[in-house]
C-alpha cells in the first residue's frame, strides 16, 4: 500500500496566518511539504532442506531438497515474538542470534534406500512457500520532502529542497534463514543454526539530501 500527499503550509499568504506580516511571509510563507507512506506485508517464508543429509549431496538425488512436516510437532511454528524482539531486547545483533521459526516443525524425509552409503529420499511434503502461514517481516516506511522558491531581483528565483528517506529511521528485518537440516541426531536433535534467524537488515538508515536551484 502506498499513500502520497502534497500540502502547502497555510502561513504567510493572503487570507492565512501571518499573511499581513512581512516577516512571516518571508520566513514561513510558500513552503510545501510532501510525503510517501509505504506499507507492505512480509515475503512468504520458503524453507529448503539444506544441511545434515541434504539430498543434493547424496546419490541418486531423486528427492527434492525439501523437508517434510513433522507429524509429531505441536505448538507454535513462530517463536520468540515479533521479528526484531525477543530475549535481550531489540537490536540487530540480538535479532541475528534468535530463532523466529521453530525448527522442530520439520522432519527429514524418509530414506527408501537399502544400500549402505547410498540414499533414496522421498520428496519432502512441506509447502514450498509459506508453510504454517509463515511470512517474513512486514515493513512500513515514510519518506518526506519540503521545498520553497524564493523570488530574487531581476526575475531570478532560488528553489531550496530537502528530502529525507526512511524518516523515522525504521529498521526493516530481513527474511529468516530457510535452510533447514538436522546436524546432530539426538533427543532433541541439533538443527542448522541459521534456520529461522534474521541474517541482515534490508533497509538503509535515515538519509537526508539537500538541493538548491537558481533560475534566471
pLDDT at position 62 is 47
65-117 tens-digit pLDDT = 888 999 999 989 999 888 877 666 556 666 667 889 999 999 988 888 788 87
The confidence score (pLDDT) of residue 88 equals 62
Angle at 121 between CA 117 and CA 124, to 5 degrees: 150
Question: Which stretches of the chain drop beneath a pLDDT of 70?
Answer: 12-26, 51-64, 86-96
Q: What pLDDT was estimated at residue 53?
A: 52
At residue 164, the pLDDT reads 96
Specify whether the CB–CB gap between 64 and 123 falls below 8 A.
yes
Instruction: Write down the pLDDT at residue 15.
Output: 53
Give the CA distances from residue 209 to residues 142, 147, 169, in Å, rounded to whole numbers and listed in that order.
15, 12, 15
How much is the pTM?
0.73
95: number of Cβ within 10 Å: 25
Amino acid at each position: 500500500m502506498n499513500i502520497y500527499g502534497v500540502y502547502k503550509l497555510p502561513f504567510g499568504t493572503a487570507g492565512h496566518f501571518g499573511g499581513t506580516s512581512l516577516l512571516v511571509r518571508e520566513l514561513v510563507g510558500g513552503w510545501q511539504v510532501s510525503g510517501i507512506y509505504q506499507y507492505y506485508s512480509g515475503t512468504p517464508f520458503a524453507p529448503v532442506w539444506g544441511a545434515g543429509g541434504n539430498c543434493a549431496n547424496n546419490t541418486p538425488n531423486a528427492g527434492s531438497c525439501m523437508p517434510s512436516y513433522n507429524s509429531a510437532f505441536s505448538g507454535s511454528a513462530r517463536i520468540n515474538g515479533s521479528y526484531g524482539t525477543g530475549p535481550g531486547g531489540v537490536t540487530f545483533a540480538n535479532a541475528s542470534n534468535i530463532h523466529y521459526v521453530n525448527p522442530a516443525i520439520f522432519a527429514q524425509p524418509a530414506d527408501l534406500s537399502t544400500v549402505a552409503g547410498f540414499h533414496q529420499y522421498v520428496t519432502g511434503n512441506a509447502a514450498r512457500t509459506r508453510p504454517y502461514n509463515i511470512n517474513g517481516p512486514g515493513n512500513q516506511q515514510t519518506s518526506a520532502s519540503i521545498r520553497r522558491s524564493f523570488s530574487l531581483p531581476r526575475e531570478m528565483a532560488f528553489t531550496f529542497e530537502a528530502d529525507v528517506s526512511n524518516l523515522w529511521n525504521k529498521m526493516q528485518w530481513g527474511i529468516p534463514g530457510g535452510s533447514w537440516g538436522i546436524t546432530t541426531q539426538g533427543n532433541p536433535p541439533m538443527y542448522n543454526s541459521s534456520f529461522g534467524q534474521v541474517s541482515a537488515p534490508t533497509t538503509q538508515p535515515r538519509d537526508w539530501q539537500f538541493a538548491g536551484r537558481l533560475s534566471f
